[in-house]
Structure 1
Amino acid sequence: MENLEPPKLSNQLCFPLYVISKEITGMYRPFLDELDITYSQYLVMMVLWENDGLTVNNIGEKLYLDSGTLTPLLKRLEAKNYISRQRKKEDERVVEIFLTKTGSDLRQKACAIPNKIQEKLNLSEEDLVQLKDAIKKLLIKIEK
């Protein structure tokens, strides 16, 4: 027999995950304001700092974003001269994204952000690793 009671917010997994995501993203805001980028733009830049010259589709796969969401982000980063978008010569439907010198230089300024966030959260390195591992396990289960 089905449970016909309305779901309680306090019993849901989705709600604390939503709140944590919102709050942590907010913690990044003052640091990212100094770089003149949003949290979503920061994610794109991190992907490119790891692997410059990816296609829009590659970036979207890594960030779980579709091109309709990603394209406006990329246009804003290009307007700030952090990236350049180039159509592939072999297939003009494919757009590759490259860091500009300004975008590469931004990496150095961003290096301090993870430690600042860790300090604000007041978590040990071990706690952070355990938390990330648990979240990664959950994401793997969701992706199956």
Structure 2
Amino acid sequence: MNSEENIDLENSMAPWLGKTVKIIDCYLLEQFQLHNIDLTKEQMVVLKKLHITDGLNQNELAYLTYKDKSSLTRLLTKMEKKNYIFRTQSKEDKRVKNVYVTSLGSQVYKQSKPIIKKAIQKMEQSVSSEEKQQIIQILQKIQSNFCPSQDKQTN
């Protein structure tokens, strides 16, 4: 038997991290739908980033949302169709597009905030503050194993 045959993926952290993210995504989507908010978690993250810094260029937004350029472009196209954002060419560099939140996008983001707050409360309801800090520190270690030079960012 070579070492590749001894990989025990099921008892590693990877499937637990992946499953947890999927459960949270499903919960948020369900709650958004329940409250008649046409939004996905990915779209909410983009709106949050633009709420903090409106007019980011697409490259900055891709970096901040951990998306490759083509998947971000598809996401932004969907958001434009919903009238949540609009893009304009940069005056300095015509190849660069800046992304801005619309008043509807801002309204939808504000509507999503109580749902996000409720999701965070649900996620942390049986977790002590010490456990929460441990989880955050462990996840930061895992992230730095893959991206040692990257700053610790929050979504």
> Could you state the TM-score of these two structures normalised by the residue count of structure 2?
0.81
Percentage identity across paired residues of the two chains: 28
Distance 1:40 1:23 in 2: 14
Larger displacement relative to structure 2 (39-48 or 110-119): 110-119
1:143 pairs with 134, 141, 147, which one? 147
Question: Within the alignment, does 1:93 sit opposite 2:86 as a pair?
Answer: no
In the other structure, the counterpart of 2:135 is: 131
Distance 1:9 1:120 in 2: 28
Superposition misfits of 4+ residues, deviation over 3 angstroms: 1-6, 127-130
State whether residues 48 and 98 of structure 1, in contact with CA within 8 Å, keep that contact through their aligned partners in structure 2. yes
In the other structure, the counterpart of 1:82 is: 84
State whether residues 43 and 79 of structure 2, in contact with CA within 8 Å, keep that contact through their aligned partners in structure 1. yes
Distance 2:90 2:120 in 1: 39
CA root-mean-square deviation: 2.1
Distance 1:125 1:49 in 2: 30
- Structure 2: runs of 5 or more not aligned: 149-155
> Could you state the TM-score of these two structures normalised by the residue count of structure 1?
0.87
Deviation at 1:52, TM superposition (A): 0.9
User: What SS does structure 2 have at the residue aligned with 1:111?
Assistant: helix
- Structure 1: runs of 5 or more not aligned: none
Distance 1:39 1:115 in 2: 13
Question: Within the alignment, does 1:18 sit opposite 2:22 as a pair?
Answer: no
Aligned residues: 144
Q: Deviations over 1:56-112 (max 9, x none)?
A: 000100111111000011011111111111011221100000011111122321221
**Higher relative contact order by CA 8 Å / sep ≥ 6: 1 or 2?**
2
Describe the shift of the 1:141–1:4 C-alpha distance in structure 2 as closer, same or farther (beyond 3 A).
Answer: closer
